Amino acid sequence: MNTQQKIEELTKISEEIKNFKGLDIAKNSTHAVPGEGDPDAKIMCIGEAPGQVEDSTGRPFVGQSGQLMRKTLTETTGIKPEEVFITNIVKFRPPDNRDPMPNEIEACRDWLDRQIDIIRPKIICTLGRYSMAKFIPDVSISRVHGQPRFVEFLGQKYHPAAALRGTTVLNEFKQDFIKLKNMLNPVSPTQNIPEEKPVVTQPSLF
């Protein structure tokens, strides 16, 4: 699929999401939040569900934790938010930011699967436990954050909202992004090995 075809397919999905009224959270939302970014992105960031600012703007990860995620991405990897594709498991805001419910995750599953299929990223960076559970169920995020898994390419991270709550998690969150950069640009086995210096033997003075 070329870039133009990808844009058309992603736009179709966005329109379906915006017109969907099959969940209470969809009927009650100000704006659906389908996702945004580069259709040819190598990295796809997948969060849980939109919060208040996302609901009022229709854009993913633009509230406080979203800004932290975007800033950390750029500061640690040099990658700009517009170079990745950012979306969520659930495309509508659950009231009072409650956890998404299984029927809501299920109703939004096909849209996300199609987005992944169109973009075909090298790395899927899951943000938070609901997003992680889509790919690796039954593990605890505090044990596996930052570890890459080859479940169709995955790097799972803490949710930025958790990073906002404390310095320890914030530092781990940043370290996870640094690993993300290394996954994209692996150090070649011959890189950084100092050249062997020729052995200079002092001529004998006698």
* Binding residues vs ligand URA (CB under 6 A): 47-51, 54, 60-61, 63, 65-66, 88, 127-128
Structure tokens given for 50: 């939109």
Tokens of 136: 């690796």
Query: Minimum CB separation from ligand URA for residue 129, in Å?
Result: 10
Q: Report the nearest approach of ligand URA to the CB of residue 176 (Å).
A: 15
Q: Are 159 and 127 in contact (CB under 8 A)?
A: yes
Strand (E) or helix (H) holding 173: helix 167-184
- In terms of CB distance, is 4 or 43 closer to ligand URA? 43
- Of 66 and 121, which has the nearer Cβ to ligand URA? 66
- State in angstroms the smallest separation of the CB of 60 from ligand URA: 4
Specify the residue, 64 or 142, whose C-beta has the smaller distance to ligand URA. Answer: 64
Residue nearest to ligand URA (CB): 47
Q: Which of 89, 52, 84 is nearest to 69 (CA)?
A: 84
Distance between CA 193 and CA 37 in Å, rounded?
37
Smallest distance, Å, CB 191 to ligand URA?
36
Taking the least distance from each CB to ligand URA, the nearer of 3 and 71 is: 71
Q: Where are the alpha helices (DSSP H) in 58-123?
A: 64-77, 102-119
Nearer of residues 130 and 153 to ligand URA, judged by Cβ:
130
Backbone torsions φ then ψ of 125, nearest 5 degrees = -105, 105
Smallest distance, ligand URA to C-beta of residue 57, A:
10
Helix (H) / strand (E) containing 163 = helix 160-163
